């Protein structure tokens, strides 16, 4: 898919990887609707990037909220061709810890934002993508990219809910790609390792320091711009479909 002139919905696009993806899409001639809870950061992104970007205050756990964001996007840009899901929360608690069993409300919230939120946004974007005139003889109408994590494969102590939510994103990639193949929409996911974003910076300093040197090579945290580069490569390359791509500099997370 050629990004020039195309319209993307980017959930979680007000911060971190999502914001960097919005910047890169705009630099390649695309337009973007940021779906995020953080209105202040969303307004700052619009001020930075201008009329190619709109902000919709969307909570990905709410169907009504997403529908309102989709309406706003269609009113602003007239179509949706790309959906990138980055909205997510990092949570942690042991299955049975000092304070008792894993709090079920924390489990439910993690799954609701990271997994159900991702599916909720993409299914409503797909509805709009199905209306697009195919870009070429292959019938290209849309591209969806979700954000999993290496925690889908090597979740650490305390990451039962986070890993389940990200494992769900990996697991649903192929069946959704199959569901949407008949209408020219590809579905892929990216599983980042340790990326330097506000989410990662929120870790306690000793954990941050310890984790920063764990990638195999290069021995540093990943950059949001590196993830954004991969996202636009996947959008542009029509022969990548139903795939989960690890981006982790060879990292394999240890139990702690």
Active site residues: 162
Pick the closest to residue 173 from 246, 226, 237 (CA basis): 246
Gap between the Cα atoms of 43 and 139, Å rounded: 35
> Shortest gap between Cβ of 36 and ligand NAD (angstroms)?
4
Gap between the Cα atoms of 172 and 178, Å rounded: 10
State which residue, 184 or 222, has the beta carbon closest to ligand NAD: 222
CB of 64 closer than 8 Å to CB of 42? no
Judged by CB under 6 A, the number of residues near ligand NAD is: 30
> Shortest gap between Cβ of 219 and ligand NAD (angstroms)?
15
State which residue, 59 or 132, has the beta carbon closest to ligand NAD: 59
Asked if 128 touches ligand NAD (CB under 6 A), the answer is no
Asked if 53 touches ligand NAD (CB under 6 A), the answer is no
Gap between the Cα atoms of 157 and 159, Å rounded: 6
Asked if 91 touches ligand NAD (CB under 6 A), the answer is no
Evaluate the omega torsion of the peptide bond into residue 218 and state whether it is cis, within 30 degrees of 0: yes
Determine which residue in the list 3, 12, 32, 143 makes contact with ligand NAD, applying CB under 6 A. Answer: 12
- For residue 178, what are its two tokens? 């199959």
- For residue 156, what are its two tokens? 């650490």
Considering only residues 134 through 153, tell me which ones interact with ligand NAD, judged by CB under 6 A: 147, 149
Determine which residue in the list 198, 213, 236, 254 makes contact with ligand NAD, applying CB under 6 A. Answer: 198
> How many C-beta atoms surround the C-beta of residue 2 within 10 A?
15
Residues in contact with ligand NAD by CB under 6 A are: 11-12, 14-18, 36-38, 58-61, 86-90, 113, 117, 147, 149, 192, 194-195, 197-200
């Amino acid at each position: 898919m050629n990004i020039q002139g195309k319209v993307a919905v980017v959930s979680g696009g007000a911060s971190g990887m999502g914001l960097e993806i919005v910047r890169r899409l705009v630099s390649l001639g695309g337009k973007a609707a940021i779906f995020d809870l953080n209105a202040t950061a969303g307004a700052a992104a619009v001020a930075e990037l201008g009329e190619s970007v709109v902000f919709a205050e969307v909570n990905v756990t709410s169907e009504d909220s997403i529908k309102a964001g989709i309406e706003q996007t269609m009113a602003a840009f007239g179509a949706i061709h790309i959906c990138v899901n980055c909205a997510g929360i990092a949570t942690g608690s042991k299955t049975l810890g000092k304070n008792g069993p894993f709090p079920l409300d924390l489990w439910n919230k993690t799954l609701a934002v990271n997994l159900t939120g991702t599916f909720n946004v993409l299914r409503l974007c797909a509805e709009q993508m199905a209306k697009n005139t195919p870009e070429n003889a292959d019938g290209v109408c849309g591209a969806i990219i979700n954000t999993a994590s290496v925690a889908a494969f090597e979740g650490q102590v305390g990451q039962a809910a986070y890993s389940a939510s990200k494992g769900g994103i990996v697991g649903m990639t192929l069946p959704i790609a199959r569901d949407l193949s008949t209408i020219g929409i590809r579905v892929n996911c990216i599983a980042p390792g340790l990326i330097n974003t506000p989410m990662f910076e929120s870790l306690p300093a000793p954990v941050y320091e310890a984790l920063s040197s764990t990638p195999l090579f290069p021995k540093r945290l990943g950059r949001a711009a590196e993830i954004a580069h991969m996202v636009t490569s996947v959008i542009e390359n029509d022969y990548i479909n139903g795939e989960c791509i690890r981006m982790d500099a060879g990292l394999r997370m240890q139990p702690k």
